[in-house]
Amino acid sequence: MDKSERHEKRMKRQKQVVDDSIKQADKDKGLLLVITGNGKGKSSSGFGMVARALGHNMRVGVVQFIKGAFSTGEEAFFRRFPDDVEYHVMGDGFTWDTQNLQQDIASAEAGWQVCKQLLTDPKIDIVLFDELNIVLKMHYLDTENVLADLAKRPAMQHVIITGRGAPQALIDAADTVSKIEDIKHAFRDGIQAQKGIEL
Amino acid sequence: MDKSERHEKRMKRQKQVVDDSIKQADKDKGLLLVITGNGKGKSSSGFGMVARALGHNMRVGVVQFIKGAFSTGEEAFFRRFPDDVEYHVMGDGFTWDTQNLQQDIASAEAGWQVCKQLLTDPKIDIVLFDELNIVLKMHYLDTENVLADLAKRPAMQHVIITGRGAPQALIDAADTVSKIEDIKHAFRDGIQAQKGIEL
């Protein structure tokens, strides 16, 4: 048997495995998806799914919790589609910029009120709560309350939550969880945040 | 010292650390960014950066290597901006669908010719080679040749390469590398791929 035949045989076997597993996965559900870890790509992954959803003409809600002080490319871009994307920026920059616990908590609570509106709106197909994990990790919001509100959302609504330090209770409640490991980062080589990549 | 004061002090210290590290990171460079691992979010992370770049009015090139057989949301969406996004879909589905080694290699080589055109075009600010890692892992393309072509690109052009199984030589050459770990996936609970999330 030559290389091509071996390849064909191996791939046929793999196709069988994949086909079988696709057959057993036949349910639809509004997913709770958590993207955490210290590596680069958490928010961008969430925004990639926003783009994907728009490609299917779905309606999207975005709430950004921490990056309020930045003017970011994703905000500039997705605000171009106000009929399809409800875009909210909460928060007053990174927490170490404000240095004010009460202000951060008030900002987090105001943010969650906006989230709750999206979570009770059946016209919204998919929501992205960007950097919410950090807010939970800092205990600016109560994770149990957040989980209770998430559980009450429309059955087919997808929720994506990003940020480092996702609490275990959120991971337990989620359908899909990805943890992004920081193998290396250009920043440590003295390269500043680049437009289109980090900004 | 009450909780608020402790918080303020801790955050001031953290701000100092962050400010110092931002000060030392003052270089600009076209980044080589690799997103690998088995978890969900690699391609979507790349597409999120495409959106971010478009928010800065940058010009983008996309080459999708493996997902040619799928009609995906990201393709439907980003093809709406032909003046800003040069979008190419190569490949004939996942490799276990074709089961034909020669066809896969030919398809990979044709794909790389398109990549090389983008890598020699100074008007393209950022390129995404989606699922290229798999192509390299399967040895459909020679990693050393790919690295040589990447090294010759315009100095400020950013390159994002996604897919599981990134070869070590590519990781070594990259500026930023994220590895996405699969903590859990809805698919294993019998939930099929959902529009806006996986499709």
Whether residue B50 contacts residue B60, with contact meaning beta carbons closer than 8 Å, is answered with: yes
Average pLDDT score, chain B: 90
Q: What CATH number did the domain enclosing B55 receive?
A: 3.40.50.300
pLDDT band of residue A152 (cuts 50, 70, 90) is: very high
Asked whether residue A15 is assigned to any structural domain, the reply reads no
Flag whether B84 is in a domain.
yes
Asked if B175 lies within 8 A of A195 by C-beta distance, the reply is no
Chain B interface, best mutation among A13, A42, A56, A92, by max B CB count within 10 A: A56
The phi and psi torsions of A65 (rounded to 5 degrees) equal: -90, -40
Minimum mean pLDDT range among A189-193, B69-73, B74-78:
B69-73
Q: Which domain holds residue B45?
A: 28-189
In-domain check, residue B50 = yes
Which residues in A lie closer than 8 A to residue B55 (C-beta atoms)?
A: 72-78
ipTM for this model:
0.89
Whether B181 is in a domain gets the answer yes
Instruction: Supply the mean pLDDT for chain A.
Output: 90
Residue carrying the six token digits 């996965």: A25
Q: Say if residue B79's pLDDT is above 80.
A: yes
Residue A4 lies in a domain: no
Q: By CA distance, what is A26's nearest residue in B?
A: B192
Inside any domain, residue B143: yes
For residue B121, CA distances in Å to A196, B24, B144 come to: 17, 31, 21
- Whether A68 shows a pLDDT value over 60: the answer reads no
Residue B124 lies in a domain: yes
Between β-strands B85-89 and B158-162, what pairing exists: parallel, antiparallel or unpaired? unpaired
Quote the number of domains for chain A. 1
Instruction: Give the number of residues written for chain B.
Output: 199
Please name the residues in contact with A27: beta carbons below 8 A apart, sequence gap of 6 or more. Answer: B189, B190, B191, B192
Q: Decide if A7 is inside a domain.
A: no
Name the residue among A175, A180, A189 with its Cβ closest to that of B180: A180
Q: Provide mean pLDDT across the span B141-151.
A: 97
For residue A97, the chain B residue with the least C-alpha distance is B15
Residue B69: pLDDT over 60: no
CA distance B151 to chain A (A): 16
In the stretch 64-123 of chain A, residues with CB closer than 8 A to chain B read: 72-78, 94-102
| Closest-CA residue to A34 (of A171, A157, A135, A158) | A171
Q: In the predicted model, is pLDDT for residue B199 greater than 70?
A: yes
